[in-house]
């Protein structure tokens, strides 16, 4: 086989990064990946457990294609696939979006902050301020403005805050009830989520029930 540069394997502090060309045929990519792992890059792959990050560029790979890539890599006994990244979105082997951004700030009136992935705001969201995220929103502070999670249509996301006093909450296309209905007066952190297409609120300590029981999202 004539080696082509559809795949670049780089060593980084955390392990290895596999950069996969997003223009060539998938079958060509898979063949070259197997060839490099078995023939030309053995010196990089020997030794103890090595964590691997796979970057697909703009390629929109199906779950089956991602699994085939992971299986080729995992065939080398000491390689562990840590993440697969496509089109700027990091995805763990379990399929959960792992792109979390931490913002330490105060989002003031008239300001809008938008993020593709999950967002952790360490600070306050003031009235008149807006957060827009494709994933979860976590506010370690007061949420008094507008928070919209699941802007891309995901309904399995949440909005959590130390103090929940929103002007408006929105998950996917579902908008919150009037703000006064959210004012429980409880000092515990709370989160909003969708259950059977309706927005609910609960203490953050109950989040494990949602994350470990997907049936809660049935009908959304």
Kindly give the confidence (pLDDT) of every residue in the chain, 220 residues in length, as a single tens digit, with 9 standing for 90 and above. Answer: 444 578 888 877 778 888 888 888 888 889 888 888 877 666 655 666 778 888 888 887 788 888 888 888 888 767 788 888 775 444 444 344 446 889 999 999 999 999 988 999 999 999 999 999 999 999 999 999 999 999 989 898 999 999 999 999 999 999 986 555 555 556 678 999 998 888 888 888 888 776 655 444 444 3
**Tell me, what's the pLDDT at 162?**
92
Q: Which residues pair with 120 in a beta bridge?
A: 102, 138
- CATH number of the domain residue 158 falls in: 2.160.20.70
What is the residue range of 186's domain? 100-217
pLDDT at position 6 = 85
In DSSP terms, which residues pair with 79 in a beta bridge?
Answer: 50
Distance CA 117, CA 54 (A): 18
43 in a structural domain: yes
Domain count, the chain: 2
115 and 202 part of one domain: yes
Distances from the Cα of 5 to the Cα of 15, 32, 61, angstroms: 20, 9, 19
Question: Where a domain ends, among 91, 113, 128?
Answer: 91
Residue 47 lies in a domain: yes
Dihedral of CA atoms 188, 123, 120, 19 in degrees, nearest 10, equals -160
Residues 66 and 133 in one domain: no
Same domain as 134, residue 65:
no
140 in any annotated domain: yes
Given a contact cutoff of 8 angstroms between Cβ atoms, the answer to whether 1 and 37 are in contact is no
CB proximity list for 63: less than 8 A, separation 6 or greater:
95
Contact between 85 and 105 (Cβ < 8 Å): no
In a domain, 19, yes or no: yes
**Statement to judge: residues 76 and 175 lie in one domain:** no
Q: Is residue 1 part of a domain?
A: no
**Do 173 and 156 form a contact (C-beta atoms < 8 A)?**
no
Tokens, residue 214: 């997907």
Q: What is the pLDDT of residue 217?
A: 47
Residue 185: per-residue pLDDT:
57
Write down which residue in 70, 91, 112 finishes a domain: 91
Which one of 61, 91, 121 terminates a domain? 91
């Amino acid at each position: 086989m004539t080696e082509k540069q559809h795949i670049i394997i780089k060593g980084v502090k955390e392990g290895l990064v596999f950069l996969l060309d997003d223009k060539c045929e998938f079958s060509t990519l898979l063949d070259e990946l197997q060839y490099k792992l078995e023939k030309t890059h053995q010196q990089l792959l020997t030794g103890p457990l090595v964590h691997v990050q796979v970057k697909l560029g703009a390629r929109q790979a199906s779950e089956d294609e991602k699994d085939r890539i992971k299986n080729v890599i995992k065939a080398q006994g000491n390689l562990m696939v840590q993440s697969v990244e496509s089109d700027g979105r990091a995805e763990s082997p379990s399929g959960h979006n792992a792109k979390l951004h931490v913002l330490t700030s105060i989002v003031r009136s008239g300001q809008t902050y938008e993020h593709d992935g999950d967002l952790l705001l360490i600070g306050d969201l003031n009235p008149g301020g807006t957060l827009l995220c494709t994933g979860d929103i976590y506010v370690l502070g007061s949420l008094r403005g507008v928070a919209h999670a699941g802007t891309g249509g995901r309904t399995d996301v949440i909005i959590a805050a130390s103090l929940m006093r929103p002007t408006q909450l929105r998950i996917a296309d579902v908008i919150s009830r009037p703000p006064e209905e959210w004012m429980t007066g409880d000092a515990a952190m709370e989160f909003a989520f969708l259950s059977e297409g309706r927005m609910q609120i609960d203490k953050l300590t109950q989040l494990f029930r949602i994350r470990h029981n997907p049936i809660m999202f049935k009908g959304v």
